[in-house]
Structure 1
């Protein structure tokens, strides 16, 4: 049996990336001479593909490409690094690795951004892989990113006893739904960007309020998964 696999969302789970994402999104609205959404709406951009968020919040379908270009101009100019690792995350990742877990980021952020961000903030050395969307985010879902990670790490979908237990950890409903498409449970973390009740409604198997309890909660869930698969 393979080692337990933990798939980790990036934005809102491992990192507080809201400042750079929301500022870049606001820049895009101003560049298109459109009304900038309020702070709460901009915060909801963190997590889902940006190509879904723009049309959902006032950008005409025919101008989404224009908005995306403006967003990326601001994001790559510095917004991508206006970011911080949540306190306690490195220690939790080290604890999980010491317990024998394979750890990988699975994010809806384009992989060409996710990789240098993880490298800049010292996460790469604590992970066994970083997997993200293609640059054209509109062609990818969270389930697609998870499929890519599973294939690269030699796992099948859905999970089988020979593969060992697999768990997703994320802060938004698309993490839960994407994992479910592969028969994987998702542990929801509430320090991210979900709306009240979002994770429970999506079907998260548990909610965690404190980073300090992350490793313990993950190991408990992996043990439960192993029991179901045995």
Structure 2
């Protein structure tokens, strides 16, 4: 792997945020009078921009979706962002990539305010030069826009930059900015969803991803 710059998605790529996100979605829906007792039915909220997800999955108009986002954040910023697990093997992968002299970034549609706190709390912020995310007003929730902003701010050469993620939004964001992209199959995107975007690489497991960078990792 020749890439000097590696962009990582956060949810479903570095961490498993399942409980924190789905419980916070459940809380937001309840505040709007919508009862969803089964949080597993809310896992499709993990990955896409939250505002658009409420509009798509619950047929909300934009004003009501923003209300839902507000209720979601009410719980998430206090409790939900800590209901999270770093995938086993991620700390060693980040250590190895940094040790190879690569520059690492996070590119997430989650607000950077929350993303940076998650990285700080779970002790992996130190591996990243900077963590990029959206603004609370919804600016740069689109991965194409977010990655374009990151590339411009950091003056990165797309030919030497790789985007790694578990949902189609990550792959589309990278490809439309001229990057090679790596899909990972251990997150929340199905094989069909990821394969449809024709990623440069497709790693079924974190071990396979690690092996691609560090051949002795297995």
Corresponding residue for residue 180 of structure 1: 175
Structure-2 separation of matches of 1:47 and 1:82: 16
The offset of 1:218, in angstroms, is 4.6
Q: How does 1:53-202 map to 2 (within 5 A)?
A: 53-61=53-61, 62-137=63-138, 140-156=141-157, 159=158, 165-202=160-197
- Residue 27 of structure 2 aligns to a residue whose secondary structure is helix
How many residues are paired up?
A: 213
Q: Quote the Cα distance in structure 2 between the aligned partners of 1:19 and 1:189.
A: 20
Are the counterparts in 1 of residues 133 and 140 from structure 2 also a CA contact under 8 Å?
A: no
What displacement does 1:106 show? 0.5
How much has 1:112 moved relative to structure 2?
0.8
> Unpaired segments of 5 or more residues in structure 1?
221-230
Q: Report the Cα distance in structure 2 between the residues aligned to 1:27 and 1:59, rounded to whole angstroms.
A: 18
Superposed CA deviations along residues 109-134 of structure 1, whole A, max 9, x for unmatched, are 00011111101101111111111011
Q: Deviations over 1:105-162 (max 9, x none)?
A: 0001000111111011011111111110111226531112212221232215xx25xx
Rounded to whole Å, the distance in 2 between the matches of 1:139 and 1:97 is 27
Contact 1:96 1:215 in 2 (8 A): no
Secondary structure of the structure 1 residue equivalent to 2:110 = strand
| Structure 2 unmatched runs, 5+ | none
Question: Structure 2 length as normaliser, TM-score?
Answer: 0.90
TM-score normalized with structure 1 length: 0.86
Matches within 5 A, 1:2-13: 4-13=4-13
1:72 to partner: Cα distance:
0.6
TM superposition shift of 1:35: 4.0
